[in-house]
Amino acid sequence: MVSHSELRKLFYSADAVCFDVDSTVIREEGIDELAKICGVEDAVSEMTRRAMGGAVPFKAALTERLALIQPSREQVQRLIAEHPPHLTPGIRELVSRLQERNVQVFLISGGFRSIVEHVASKLNIPGTNVFANRLKFYFNGK
């Protein structure tokens, strides 16, 4: 475990910092919040717990959860509009301080880019510094 003073030194000397997003930069797990909007919260939350525990490989867990959720473009937009992610206390200040020192800040997530980009915009992080999965929709929004 890294001590508080060691962590401060790391942040102070860094040229770039990468943050995970779900349950780190934001309080929620984005995929679980999307599952709520789509009415399959319980099953997806259980799959997320198994995936985070390492019981299921990430790709398989993501594929399983997406098969259950089957989100539409409208549902993703509704999630961001009606239930936007909540930033973890102190993250806005930390990112701001890093940026003031010209430290590149990146958001890296196994979640969905549309949600992570929303978080990035709240933190003044450019979209080029966001790495996440892209949801692809058919012309009809499915």
What strands, in cross-sheet order, belong to the sheet with 104-112?
Answer: 16-20, 104-112, 130-133
| 44 contacts 66 by C-beta, under 8 angstroms | no
Select which of 15, 22, 32, 42 is catalytic: 22
32 is catalytic: no
Annotated active-site residue 20? The verdict is yes
Report the b/e string of 107-137 with b at 16+ CB within 10 A.
bebbbbbbbbbbbbebbebeeeebebbeeee
Report d(CA 21, CA 87) in Å as an integer. 9
List residues with catalytic annotation.
20, 22
